[in-house]
Amino acid sequence: MSLGFKRKLRTAALLLFVFAVVGLLIYSRIVAYSLAPTLKPADFSGLAWYEIPFYYLWDYVSHGWICLLFAFTAAGLVYEFMPKDLIMRYMGSNRITGYLIASGLAPLLTVCSCTMVPFFAGILYTGAGIGPAITFLLMAPAANVLTILLTGEFLSWDIAAVRVVASLTTALAAGVIVSKTSWGKSVENERHVDAVAGQRGTVELAKPPLDERLIAALKFGVYLATQILPYFIAGLIIVGYVTAYMPESIVEGYLTGWAGVLIASIIGGPLYTPTLVEVVVGRSLLQLGMSRAALLSWLMGQPYDIANMTAVSKITGWKVVVTYALTAWSCSVILSLLYGVLTGSL
């Protein structure tokens, strides 16, 4: 067999796999098969304590595997095929483009924290400055391929849409506010360098053949899965117990109404929940009676957790961190209350 033929065969096999994954998701939609788990908190009351994690995990895995498989495949493909050199070139061109890319395109790329800090610093140092950098930082955890898909499938698609819009508003507000403060400006002046990004032939990305790119994309998907799934599964086990033993009266008493939004935003913010676990916890709390408005503010608490803030404060100093955390927190409360009032789900 010639090398060219082998290559074509491998490309075909890989494309077939990708289409099969997409097809599975579409098929599951057509037959209205639930991709989210189906057990209710009441179903757990009859189980022994050691049985709970198994039932809970099985409930998630048996329904959610199509969704998880699709999410990790999609994340790998988006990351691999996104024209990174173009993003780099346009990032520095002007402020408006900077905000557009930081809020729209860049978050799609950042499916794990390993890619987030360099990207943040890159935007701050070489490109559009502190405002877009903060926008990106707050937008990334809410608007990447993985979170959008899982929020949509495991919670609901209207919550996913509202989450993206609300996060966008928050991220833009925080970015603009930080860029207007004197400490934000001084960080920008101090850190800015004149980069030659994409000019004078310093960046000429090699384009490998399609089959190698597909393999790289799927490998990255697998890598992401190995990074995220252990936390996801550990989270599920804990959530399984919470769902089984948490009295509904506590959740209904504290996580509804105006106070519910406030409480959810306070515990959802600083508390460090690894990627995607917030969706599972949110789902379980929602079943136990948390209001949808409180759920929104819980989900929006993602970007300003403690781990994230410490990493960023090393680059920008604590004043910038406090400014964006406070802005993001007030925005999440205000927007969630607004959502609650408008949809009658406070």
Partner 1 sequence: MKTLKIEVIGPDPPCARCMAVKRIAEEAAGRLESAGVKVEVVKANILSREILTKYGTLVSPAMAIDGVVRIMGRIPTEAEVEELARTAVEERSRD
Query: According to the binding rule CB under 8 A, does residue 7 interact with partner 1?
Result: no
With CB under 8 A as the contact rule, the residue among 18, 52, 55, 80 that binds partner 1 is 80
With CB under 8 A as the contact rule, the residue among 61, 205, 259, 341 that binds partner 1 is 205
Query: According to the binding rule CB under 8 A, does residue 105 interact with partner 1?
Result: no
With CB under 8 A as the contact rule, the residue among 26, 94, 157, 208 that binds partner 1 is 208
Query: According to the binding rule CB under 8 A, does residue 168 interact with partner 1?
Result: no
Query: According to the binding rule CB under 8 A, does residue 206 interact with partner 1?
Result: yes
Query: According to the binding rule CB under 8 A, does residue 197 interact with partner 1?
Result: yes
Please, how many CA atoms are within 13 Å of residue 34, restricted to the half-sphere of its CB? 11
User: Cβ of residue 39: shortest distance to partner 1, in angstroms?
Assistant: 35
CA distance to 15, 117, 218, 260, per residue, from 307 (Å):
38, 12, 29, 24
Scan for tokens 């515990």, then name that residue.
Answer: 267
Query: According to the binding rule CB under 8 A, does residue 84 interact with partner 1?
Result: yes
Contact 67, 149 (CB under 8 A): yes
With CB under 8 A as the contact rule, the residue among 15, 161, 203, 259 that binds partner 1 is 203
The DSSP output letter for 201 is: T
With CB under 8 A as the contact rule, the residue among 109, 239, 244, 294 that binds partner 1 is 109
With CB under 8 A as the contact rule, the residue among 25, 71, 77, 91 that binds partner 1 is 91
Of 142, 98, 78, 106, nearest to 308 (Cα)? 142
Helix (H/G/I), strand (E/B), else coil: 291: coil
* Choices 165-173, 187-195, 322-330, 333-341; region in contact with partner 1 by CB under 8 A: 187-195
Query: According to the binding rule CB under 8 A, does residue 126 interact with partner 1?
Result: yes
Of 206, 208, 220, 215, nearest to 10 (Cα)? 215
Between helices 113-126 and 182-191, what is the axis angle to 10°? 90
With CB under 8 A as the contact rule, the residue among 47, 195, 266, 334 that binds partner 1 is 195
With CB under 8 A as the contact rule, the residue among 212, 233, 271, 334 that binds partner 1 is 212
Query: According to the binding rule CB under 8 A, does residue 139 interact with partner 1?
Result: no
Of 267, 279, 287, 243, nearest to 329 (Cα)? 267
Query: According to the binding rule CB under 8 A, does residue 187 interact with partner 1?
Result: no
> In this complex, which beta carbon is closest to partner 1, that of residue 197 or of residue 331?
197
Please, how many CA atoms are within 13 Å of residue 253, restricted to the half-sphere of its CB? 5
Please, how many CA atoms are within 13 Å of residue 142, restricted to the half-sphere of its CB? 33
User: Cβ of residue 197: shortest distance to partner 1, in angstroms?
Assistant: 3
C-alpha dihedral sign at 151, 154, 157, 158: negative
Structure tokens at 219: 């490998």
Structure tokens at 113: 């924290």
Q: For residues 116 and 160, what is the distance between their CA atoms, to the nearest angstrom?
A: 21
Query: According to the binding rule CB under 8 A, does residue 231 interact with partner 1?
Result: no
Rule CB under 8 A: which residues touch partner 1? 79-80, 84-85, 87-88, 91-92, 109, 114-115, 117-119, 121-123, 125-127, 193-198, 201-206, 208, 212, 216, 219-220, 223, 315
